[in-house]
């Protein structure tokens, strides 16, 4: 379940509240039991053997009884104070309401507060046990006070690290409601905390015992071998646990971002990582989410841009930028115009007219693109398609002629009751960005475009309603040329010389 949550699965607040309550109990009890175990091991190994030899076993018995009594009081008190501190937090999680500022700080500073509660109880234990044993023997009092302090440090550090993990889901909800705040320990501070738990405190204890031995404290000098063994063993066991917890605390946010990056590389821009860390790691998670949100927005704009101007034009603009002007290109041009659109608009409701036009243009776009062409523009009930711009296209004449034949057949089959004239021409045209600096479009202008438009008018009176210039058909391959026949030689409107018109055979 935790793995799924780290991958972004959002859980219901009531379940988060239950896991929070159980997790805090385990963190507090587990940290205190670990600290008590450290005290017991060190207390047995470091208790001055001379005291036992001179009949001070009663002092050890007193310490044991005092320890049991203190645990019976301190453990329930710590659990009560800790759970009481987070009682309002559980109610907020179950309510699914936005957090208040107080609840935000309670979550983000929760590990500190829990460690402070544990520290207060263990500081009291240091004073009590130190005073009781100092009355019997100063050496025993100092030793036991150091031992209890070591157990308290261990408890506070482990409680802090465990509480950070327990509060992650709550922290994710808090940070979801606002900006990431630097509240928790940073990566560097966590590393220092792990070092202190693993190395710093045990080494400090060994140094202290060495100093005491050099100062002439005979009891400690005689027990220095056991002291070194005990502190070293505690450092290995407790240090391993602390290092693992600290390492996971740092590694989990990084792993969540790394896994999400893998999904982004595969094209999934809907990925999102939960932000549950109030440090620079949380800023990393939040920064990743902002980055993906911007990528989604850019992809959406790119998709809209491509839909408006065509994928080829959009790609060319992204790769080469946009400048006003054009260049001469050898192109084939297909023009298609719906027959009787004026009467259609007069007889039918506007919504129905739009539906017919959308169905008509859907067939046009699909037929043109399947043959490698690009629909340059829609003009009312007409469309202009280009083969050979903005990117060069091999066999553009074959493709344009094939698209015209396919389009005529599909329109007759898929839009019964409607007809369209289709004209195809080719030659040299100017392709580029036409307009003003703040508003322009990529288009193709020149004689092939004009001729295709005139052939479209002529095609409306032919059967089938497709007309192509003979010069374009001659540029096609043998297989495509065989599919066309000469219809007539016509002087098109606006032209001084006759054009040989061909239609599908």
Q: Which domains does the chain have, with CATH numbers?
A: 10-256 (no CATH), 321-504 (3.30.70.1230)
pLDDT of res. 258 = 85
Which H/E stretch holds residue 445?
strand 439-445
pLDDT of res. 481 = 93
pLDDT of res. 210 = 62
- Burial class of residue 459 (count of CB atoms within 10 Å of its CB; 0-12, 13-18, 19+): buried
**How far is C-alpha 467 from the geometric centre of its chain's CA atoms?**
54
pLDDT of res. 431 = 84
Residues in the chain: 505
pLDDT of res. 10 = 44
Low-confidence ranges of the chain (pLDDT < 70): 1-13, 42-60, 139, 177-231, 234-235, 238-239, 242, 245-246, 276-279, 301-325, 342, 437-440
Strands 420-436 and 466-469: parallel
- What is the sign, positive or negative, of the torsion defined by CA atoms of 312, 403, 344, 348? negative
CA dihedral of residues 406, 410, 413, 414 (deg, nearest 10): 180
Three-class DSSP category at 94:
helix
pLDDT of res. 11 = 54
pLDDT of res. 220 = 52
pLDDT of res. 53 = 46
First to last CA, the chain: 67
Distance CA 9, CA 2 (A): 9
- Closest listed residue to residue 243, CA positions, set 196, 275, 211: 196
- DSSP letters of 370-386? HTT-EEEEEETTEEEEE
Distance CA 428, CA 330 (A): 5
């Amino acid at each position: 379940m935790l793995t799924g949550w780290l991958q972004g699965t959002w859980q219901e607040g009531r379940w988060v509240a239950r896991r929070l309550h159980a997790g805090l109990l385990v963190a507090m009890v587990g940290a205190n039991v670990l600290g008590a175990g450290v005290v017991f091991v060190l207390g047995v190994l470091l208790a001055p053997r001379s005291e036992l030899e001179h009949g001070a076993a009663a002092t050890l018995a007193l310490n044991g009884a005092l320890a049991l009594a203190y645990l019976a009081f301190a453990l329930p008190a710590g659990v009560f104070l800790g759970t009481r501190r987070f009682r309002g937090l559980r109610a907020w999680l179950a309510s699914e309401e936005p957090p208040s500022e107080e609840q935000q700080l309670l979550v983000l500073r929760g590990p500190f507060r829990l460690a402070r509660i544990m520290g207060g109880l263990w500081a009291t234990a240091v004073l009590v046990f130190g005073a009781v044993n100092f009355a019997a023997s100063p050496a025993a009092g100092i030793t036991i006070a150091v031992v209890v302090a070591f157990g308290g440090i261990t408890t506070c550090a482990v409680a802090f690290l465990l509480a950070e993990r327990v509060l992650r889901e709550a922290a994710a909800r808090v940070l979801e409601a606002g900006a990431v705040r630097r509240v928790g320990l940073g990566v560097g501070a966590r590393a220092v905390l792990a070092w202190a738990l693993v190395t710093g405190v045990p080494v400090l204890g060994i140094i202290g015992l060495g100093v005491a031995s050099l100062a002439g404290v005979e009891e400690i000098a005689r027990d220095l071998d056991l002291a070194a063994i005990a502190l070293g063993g505690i450092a290995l066991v407790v240090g391993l646990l602390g290092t693992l917890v600290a390492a996971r605390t740092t590694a989990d946010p990084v792993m969540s971002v790394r896994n999400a990056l893998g999904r982004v590389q595969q094209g999934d821009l809907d990925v999102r990582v939960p932000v549950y860390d109030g440090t620079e790691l949380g800023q990393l998670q939040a920064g990743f989410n902002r980055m993906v949100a911007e990528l989604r927005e850019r992809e959406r704009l790119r998709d809209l841009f491509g839909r408006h101007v065509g994928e080829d034009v959009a790609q060319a603009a992204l790769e080469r930028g946009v400048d006003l002007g054009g260049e001469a290109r050898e192109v084939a041009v297909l023009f298609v115009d719906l027959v009787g659109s004026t009467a259609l608009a007069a007889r039918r409701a506007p919504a129905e007219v739009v539906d017919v036009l959308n169905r008509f243009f859907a067939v046009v776009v699909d037929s043109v693109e399947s043959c490698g062409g690009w629909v340059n523009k829609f003009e009312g009930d007409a469309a202009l398609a280009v083969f050979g711009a903005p990117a060069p296209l091999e066999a553009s004449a074959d493709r344009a002629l094939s698209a015209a034949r396919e389009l005529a057949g599909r329109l007759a089959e898929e839009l019964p009751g409607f007809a369209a004239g289709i004209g195809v021409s080719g030659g040299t045209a100017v392709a580029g960005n036409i307009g003003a600096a703040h508003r322009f479009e990529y288009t193709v202008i020149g004689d092939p475009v004009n001729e295709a438009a005139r052939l479209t008018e002529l095609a409306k009176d032919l059967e089938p309603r497709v007309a192509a210039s003979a010069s374009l058909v001659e540029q096609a391959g043998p297989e495509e040329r065989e599919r066309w026949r000469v219809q007539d030689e016509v002087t098109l409107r606006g032209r001084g010389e006759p054009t040989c018109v061909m239609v599908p055979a």
